Amino acid sequence: MSKKNDELQQETQGMDFLQSLPRRWVTTYIPLAIMVFVLLFPFYWMVITAFKPDNELLHQTGNPFWVIAPTLAHFKKLLFETQYPAWLLNTVIVSVVSTFVSLAASVFAAYAIERLRFQGSKQVGLGIFLAYLIPPSILFIPLAAIVFKLGLFDTRWALILTYPTFLIPFCTWLLMGYFRSIPYELEECALIDGATRWEILIKIILPLAVPGLISAGIFAFTLSWNEFIYALTFISSSEMKTVPVGIVTELVDGDVYHWGALMAGALLGSLPVAVVYSFFVEYYVSGMTGAVKE
């Protein structure tokens, strides 16, 4: 009894360490402030650069950390003098379709590996995850030959069909971890009641795995949205480019960087991903937590 009291007293003393204000500043507030500053300053710099007129950008007049005379000229140039609306549409279509295709394949793969219990399932799961570790810079070379032979070069289908090569492995691994956290007794009861595997997947597993599905979907959507190598290799015409490639290739003339338009394009391109994260952040954290359960 005395040992438990000593342990409880030690835990209480450990929590008392954070009670004084100076200690809270040193251990909590200052580290959090530094982390928030490091994470948000690039986004802040992107915002103020997008609204700065060219004379402030080129001649550094006034305070570099503030906008003296805000302007929308860079957004006007981006939206009406470039193919940015087409780039944004291409990015949305490619990202959404690739995400749904990857999620559908990952659900079937993860369910088969984790719940059907066939011989060698663990090795198959490990092999799928190891496939994710292959750098895209190596894969795009053989994929380029396939895309050319299929006549898909310079089309959205070139990206829609190649993006799942790096989306499916990680999404499968993530959903495997989440399916593992669902009690197997639920399936056994359903099988006893006469349910088929398809009914179990649709009516039991998927409703319980919604956080994991959202987490995998956000991951796949973000990777598709920001992907650069494949989009640069398989797309050549300006109107078919995605936002990351279009901004870099169309708004840089030799050694002249149109910083205002570049930052405006990056700002508009980052907003959809930020909105998706803000709406589903709780499901995302829950899905990532379920994926690492043993």
| pLDDT tens per residue, range 111-137 | 988 888 777 777 887 888 787 788 877
Q: Indicate the residue type of 282.
A: E
d(CA 133, CA 137): 11
Distances from the Cα of 36 to the Cα of 15, 30, 33, 40, 268, angstroms: 25, 10, 5, 6, 22
Q: Indicate the residue type of 172.
A: T
Q: Indicate the residue type of 257.
A: Y
Reported pTM:
0.80
Res 241: pLDDT: 92
CB atoms within 10 A of CB 173: 22
- What are the tokens at 100? 């749904």
Residue ranges of the chain with pLDDT lower than 50? 291-294
Res 178: pLDDT: 85
- What are the tokens at 162? 């190649």
Res 208: pLDDT: 86
CB 282 within 8 A of CB 268: no
Cβ-proximal residues to 137 (8 Å cutoff; 6+ apart), any chain: 229
The three-point CA angle 102-105-111 to 5° equals: 130
- What are the tokens at 84? 């940015």
Res 170: pLDDT: 86
Buried b (16+ CB within 10 A) or exposed e, 201-216: beebbeeebebbbbbb
Res 293: pLDDT: 46
Q: Indicate the residue type of 22.
A: P
The total number of residues shown for the chain amounts to 294
d(CA 71, CA 53): 6
